Amino acid sequence: MKLEWKYSLEGIRWEELSELYKLTPLGNKKPEDLEMAFTNSLFRCFIFQQGKLVGVGRALADGVDCSYICDVAVLPKYQGLGIGKNIVSRLVELSKGHRKIILYACPGKEPFYKKFGFRRMCTAMAIFANQEQAMEGGLIDKT
């Protein structure tokens, strides 16, 4: 399978990206919100197969201290083919030189990220716009 990798925002169809997120466990994200998020990310990967967006990922990074890998998603039909692994590997490589590389995983996906050297943080905390939903989804403790 021939895949095309893009690292720029040129030609990205934000509606198509929004649809990709709906089809993965990352949920409903508005096209205009995705455009802002990816525009403000230092690193990003868009993976296409015959012109169709099949995978994506990005990293918010400051160039020195912290890089936060997020929004890694692969269309269900293309999962299990190594695309997600390649996206994470590339974002980790692009983030080299930062003092720390952080991500948070969807519950149950932690073993996948451990393969890259990620370990559970003991002190990570978060405030979500929808705390109740984050608790129900297993992202934060109920205490």
Quick one: pLDDT band at residue 134, thresholds 50, 70, 90? Answer: confident
String of DSSP letters for 83-141: HHHHHHHHHHHHHTTSSEEE--PPTT-HHHHHTTT----SS-----TTHHHHHHTTSS-
For residue 25, the model assigns a pLDDT of 75
Q: What is the mean pLDDT of the chain?
A: 93
Q: How many domains does the chain have?
A: 2
Q: Are residues 71 and 99 in the same domain?
A: yes
Q: How many CA atoms lie within 13 A of 85 on its CB side?
A: 9
Q: Is the pLDDT of residue 143 over 80?
A: no
Q: Span 115-139, mean pLDDT?
A: 89
Domain that holds residue 133: 109-143
CA atoms within 13 A on the CB side of 94: 21
Task: Return the ∠ at Cα 115 (arms to 111 and 120), rounded to 5°.
Answer: 55
* 8 Å CB contact between 61 and 95: yes
Kindly state whether residues 46 and 94 are assigned to the same domain: yes
Model confidence at 122, in pLDDT bands (50, 70, 90)? confident
Cα dist. 48→53, 97, 117 in Å?
4, 28, 27
Round to whole Å and give the CA distance between 136 and 116. Answer: 27
Q: Which residue has the tokens 């129900």?
A: 136
When pLDDT is cut at 50, 70 and 90, the band that residue 83 belongs to is: very high
Token duo for residue 103? 């991500």
* Pair (84, 114) in one structural domain: no
Indicate which CATH number applies to the domain containing 72. Answer: 3.40.630.30
pLDDT band per the 50, 70, 90 thresholds, residue 104:
confident
Higher pLDDT, 67 or 142: 67
Give pTM, 2 decimals: 0.90
Query: When comparing pLDDT for 122 and 36, which is higher?
Result: 36
